[in-house]
A = this chain, B = another copy of it.
Amino acid sequence: MTARNVLWIMCDQLRFDYLSCAGHGSLATPNIDRLAARGVRFTRAYVQSPVCGPSRMSFYTGRYMRSHGANWNQFPLRVDEPTLGDASKALGVRNVLVGKTHMRADDDGLDRLGIDRASDIGVHVSQCGFEPFERDDGLHPTASGGGRTRYDEHLRARGFGGANPWEDWANAGDAEGGLASGWLLAHADKVARVDEAESETPYMTRRAMEFIADAARDGRPWCLHLSYIKPHWPYIAPAPYHALYGPADVKPAVRDAAERVDPHPVYAAFMDLRVSRNMARDEVRARVIPAYMGLIKQIDDQLGELFAFLESEGLADTTLVAFTSDHGDYLGDHWLGEKDLFHDCSVKVPLIVYDPSPAADGTRGTVCDRLVEAIDLAPTIVDWFGGRPRPNVMEGRSLLPLLHGRTDLPWRRYAVSEYDFSMLEVRAALGLAPRDSRLFMLFDGRWKLVHAPGFRPMLFDLADDPDEVRDLGGDPTHAPEIARLRDLLLDWALRDHARVTMDDDAILAYGPATQLERGVMIGYTDEAEVAQARADYGLD
């Protein structure tokens, strides 16, 4: 292997169980399955927050949400937050984006520090450490000034014109007398007005190929983050994907009438959201889920093209490939829509990593059920490029040892995820201040605690109740379990997460001899004691 690259594919809102390799019955994803057959599929990969913005900021920094502080969509990532891009830059690796990051630049920070947004550094920090070959967050409503992306220009050039081709062609169907907006769940069974080849997923796939071809001329190693907006809503697919699946392919919602009897107040407020009320309706599910499946199928087909391209470019044996998602989608399970809470369908994501090196030959086609977190991917990439992840900065752990079959290594005992619901109606419904609108999940492989400050906890026993329909948080017989998990949460919460300017190595290199050598004689009585210490420390 000479050049070592990374192709990091991310879907948006893809559930862990909507892949055939993960056991979905009616949805075949042979190309993703083939990746799993060559790599390792992680069955317990958890995101650090089940919503795009903070989840991605954790992926891109290797840091928990409580560390990076970008708690929700459009919360800026502070200007000096260390990213994978900073680590890559130090290793001479290009960290390149095609697609979505949901990064919002810290305008106040840029102004305060006098950083020119157009400078290399300004772009780097404004783009979350990525070199934006193509940045497109994939949501461009006209009311927010949509219609101005490179993709819009592309659509216009292909004859899909107007003020907002993204909204009017790629994410709309036809209706009598006008457009059927793809934003509306009632239109999810319609066919998108755009040609399949010009829809978002193939467009971004081609852009990825253009970058890869281009990068060969540059010569530097690269990490390409190909970040699809799909199968995120608007739920509407182009032909033929709009019609591949129908109501018969829709699995029954995972839910229980008992969930609505005396529910936890926070859960109750989430069930009462508009999106939950609508997604809980069977007729809505029957329209939306086939479109969701079609969009996934399209991604799988595109990945077939992309993997073939990698092969033809001679890069398949030198490129580590990771496939994941930023969070899942309730799709009506648990009487909920969207994501935002901690049932597995929301907080657990697909994660497949293919390491082409011979060291990984022993694990090909296996599954790994270790507790893995989204923050593990950034240190994995640093490790792959020969760097040493800084544990005081990147809070995740490299997965390479697991890919290389090192089952003897101690591993984390629990995964943690956080959610800030201050931007949702849930906050007002519960009468909370922004700072109190927080939830914390701690999952130890069996027990899942959801700590809700100011409320009783929620608790699920996934061994006994894999569907997570029985909240045991109010049951006094489980108090010892809850106390044990709270202790772990306290351990986690008290960890250092802000000591980004001082590495462990520098700490370990410091000692009383260092201090004395610098002439700082703390607590010495007299000259004889100093002389003795200098001798003991070998300073003379």
Could you mark each residue 517-540 of chain A with 1 if its beta carbon is under 8 Å from any beta carbon of chain B, else 0? 111111111110110010000000
State which residues 92-106 of A face B: CB under 8 Å: 106
CB proximity of A65 to chain B, nearest CB, Å: 8
CA distance A67 to B497 in the complex (A): 8
Could you mark each residue 403-427 of chain A with 1 if its beta carbon is under 8 Å from any beta carbon of chain B, else 0? 0000000000000000010110100
CB proximity of A340 to chain B, nearest CB, Å: 11
A524 in contact with B274 (CB, 8 Å): yes
B526 in contact with A495 (CB, 8 Å): no
Which of A71, A86, A106, A494 has the most chain B CB within a 10 Å cutoff? A494
Could you mark each residue 59-99 of chain A with 1 if its beta carbon is under 8 Å from any beta carbon of chain B, else 0? 00000001111111001111110000010000000000000
How many A residues face the partner with a CB closer than 8 A? 93
A522 in contact with B75 (CB, 8 Å): no
Could you mark each residue 474-514 of chain A with 1 if its beta carbon is under 8 Å from any beta carbon of chain B, else 0? 00000000000010011101111111111010011011100
Could you mark each residue 174-206 of chain A with 1 if its beta carbon is under 8 Å from any beta carbon of chain B, else 0? 000000010111100000000000000000000
Does A125 reach chain B (CB closer than 8 Å)?
A: yes
CB proximity of A461 to chain B, nearest CB, Å: 22
Nearest CB to that of A146 among chain B residues?
B519
A75 in contact with B425 (CB, 8 Å): no
Can you name 16 extra interface pairs (CB under 8 A) apart from A71-B502, A185-B526, A434-B504? A78-B80, A79-B80, A80-B80, A86-B112, A113-B113, A113-B125, A181-B521, A184-B524, A276-B523, A284-B525, A391-B435, A392-B435, A434-B507, A486-B490, A493-B493, A493-B494
A-B contact pairs, 27 of them (CB 8 A): A76-B502, A77-B501, A78-B80, A78-B498, A80-B112, A106-B501, A113-B115, A114-B115, A139-B520, A141-B520, A142-B519, A144-B520, A183-B520, A184-B525, A184-B530, A186-B526, A233-B522, A274-B522, A274-B524, A275-B523, A278-B523, A338-B522, A422-B507, A423-B507, A425-B511, A489-B494, A490-B490
